[in-house]
Amino acid sequence: MPRSDTPLLDADGVDQALTSMAVRLRAAMLPGVTLVMVGVRTRGVPLARRLATILTRQTGETIPVGAVDITLYRDDLDRAARWPVLHGTEIPFDIDGADVVLVDDVLFTGRTIRAAINSLCDLGRPARIRLATLVDRGHRELPIQPDVVGLLVATTRDEHVRVRLHEIDGVDEVLK
């Protein structure tokens, strides 16, 4: 598999992308509806945290952040050679009637997001779910589109796009 590790974003680039994503999320907020963030495990969670921090800085309002583990909702569980380790969904707030921003690092086939939406809908009935991803690399297999994207990248199907975040990987960067 080709893995040339071309840098797409450095730490500053990740910062700028998140700041501009936060601006666009804020511009389309629903007045009077509670805004909450839900990150898709693993790397969606720190990204959701960072977006919430930026928005709190701008609006002064605390934004609850949760984590969704999509494992139990995957459509390829039966095909996996070994079942993935479960880390659990932690959404310690009510999403009924909330304005939910679902956050993930890379949007590819859209299957992860389908699983995450199903998972959220089993927890309640949000007023709205928007999708924010740091990278959109195309090749969707389901009719799912992001509301807010940090970086659009043209890729071939077999290329790898890797997001590394300092909370997990010790460094902020996006590589292809």
What is the enclosing helix (H) or strand (E) of 34?
none
Distance from CA of residue 144 to its chain's centroid? 13
Query: Least Å distance between CB 76 and another protein?
Result: 12
Classify residue 175 by burial, with Cβ atoms within 10 Å: 0-12, 13-18, 19+.
middle
Fill in the amino acid letter for 28. A
Nearer to another protein, 57 or 87 (CB): 87
Give yes or no for residue 87 binding another protein (CB under 8 A).
yes
- Tell me which residue of 91, 86, 94 sits closest to 39, measured CA to CA: 91
| 166 C-beta neighbours (distance < 10 Å), count | 12
> Which residue among 118, 141, 142, 145 contacts another protein (CB under 8 A)?
118
Give yes or no for residue 53 binding another protein (CB under 8 A).
no
Nearer to another protein, 32 or 170 (CB): 170
Give yes or no for residue 142 binding another protein (CB under 8 A).
no
Query: Least Å distance between CB 159 and another protein?
Result: 25
Cα separation values, 48 from 22, 33, 110, 160, 171, Å: 10, 18, 18, 22, 17
> Which residue among 33, 72, 127, 175 contacts another protein (CB under 8 A)?
72
> Which residue among 11, 23, 86, 171 contacts another protein (CB under 8 A)?
86
How far apart (Å, rounded) are the C-alpha atoms in residues 6 and 19?
23
**Segment near another protein (CB under 8 A), from 22-30, 52-60, 119-127, 129-137?**
119-127
> Which residue among 1, 12, 82, 156 contacts another protein (CB under 8 A)?
82
Strands 173-175 and 7-9: antiparallel
Binding residues vs another protein (CB under 8 A): 41-42, 45-46, 49, 65-67, 69, 71-73, 77, 80, 82-83, 85-90, 92, 118-119, 122-124, 167-168
